[in-house]
Copies of this chain bind each other. A is one copy, B any other.
Amino acid sequence: MPNEIWRPPPVLLTVDLVILTLRVSALHVLLIERGIEPYKGSLALPGGFIANENEDVFDAACRELREEANLDATELHLEQLGAYGRPGRDPRGRIVSVAHLAIAPGLPEPEAGTDASAASWVPVEDITSDRRTLAFDHRQILEDGLERARVKIERTALATAFCAPTFTIAELQRVYEAVWGFDLDPRNFYRKVQSVPDFLIPLGPDRRTTKGRPARLFRADHHQELRPPILRPLPPNRNEEAR
């Protein structure tokens, strides 16, 4: 072997974003149609390369959020999901991606006619049901992001990150139902979330009026830990009768 000191192999680093939101009570994810090879024309998670030697990974995620989705990281929840580094995951070479999960309130309309023009909200159900496919290993990343969200709304106030600054309990319930994929009893949900200390802060006499009786408005701290947690019920096959 050559008589030179060994040097570790360099890799290229990207960030990818799983951006979730609620639209008409259904969970959606922001996807872009790729304009360049590889996977040109396919749907993919927004993301891109680290800009330079000194850009922090988290800052890169914030930047992509702005450039590709026209969203402001200071106004939504953003956390790291993990690194995806399987060799061969990108045909261009050894590219390791640090995936992130972002949660946005429902209101921001699809995309501007700006840089983010190729982006669109896609129902999560369209991906998980295999009606549409994703580029690279982005389907796996999306599944991991969904599972993270499902588990995390049990123990933290993360669900409120899907809501506008003020929201009703029914709106919060729609978040839990969309993320978990099944319905909850509104009467019990109403009391359960209000019984968790420091989860929901009632806003004076303010009410949101839709159809029916106007509902109380609340706000929340997105980073609050829920004690006790809001555990999702077991699936109905809980007690199979033993013989």
Q: Which of A1-50 contact B (CB under 8 A)?
A: 8-14, 49-50
What residues of chain B lie closer than 8 Å to A166, measured between beta carbons? none
What residues of chain B lie closer than 8 Å to A51, measured between beta carbons? 9
Q: Smallest Cβ distance from A212 to chain B, in angstroms? A: 33
Establish whether residues A10 and B8, one from each chain, have CB atoms under 8 Å apart when the complex forms. Answer: no
Known: A56-B86, A86-B56. A12 touches B13 (CB 8 A): no
Binds B, one of A123-131, A133-141, A226-234: A226-234
Binds B, one of A65-73, A77-85, A168-176: A77-85
Asked if A57 is an interface residue, CB under 8 A from chain B, the answer is yes
Known: A8-B13, A80-B83, A85-B13. A231 touches B234 (CB 8 A): no
Copies in the complex: 2
Q: Which of B52, B82, B85, B98 contacts A85 (CB 8 A)?
A: B98
The CA-CA distance from A86 to B6 in the complex, in Å, is: 25
Q: Smallest Cβ distance from A46 to chain B, in angstroms? A: 16
Establish whether residues A11 and B13, one from each chain, have CB atoms under 8 Å apart when the complex forms. Answer: yes
What residues of chain B lie closer than 8 Å to A151, measured between beta carbons? 155
Closest residue of B by beta carbon distance from A239 = B197
Known: A57-B96, A96-B57, A231-B228. A8 touches B50 (CB 8 A): yes
The CA-CA distance from A214 to B118 in the complex, in Å, is: 67
Q: Smallest Cβ distance from A38 to chain B, in angstroms? A: 15
The CA-CA distance from A96 to B96 in the complex, in Å, is: 10
What residues of chain B lie closer than 8 Å to A11, measured between beta carbons? 10-13, 50, 53
Establish whether residues A94 and B8, one from each chain, have CB atoms under 8 Å apart when the complex forms. Answer: no
Offer 20 A-B interface pairs, CB within 8 angstroms, sorted by A. Answer: A8-B12, A8-B13, A8-B49, A9-B51, A9-B53, A11-B13, A11-B50, A11-B53, A13-B85, A54-B87, A54-B94, A55-B87, A56-B86, A57-B83, A80-B83, A83-B83, A151-B155, A227-B234, A228-B231, A229-B231
Further pairs besides A8-B12, A56-B85, A57-B83: 11, Cβ < 8 Å: A9-B52, A9-B53, A11-B11, A54-B94, A55-B87, A56-B86, A57-B96, A85-B98, A96-B96, A228-B231, A229-B231
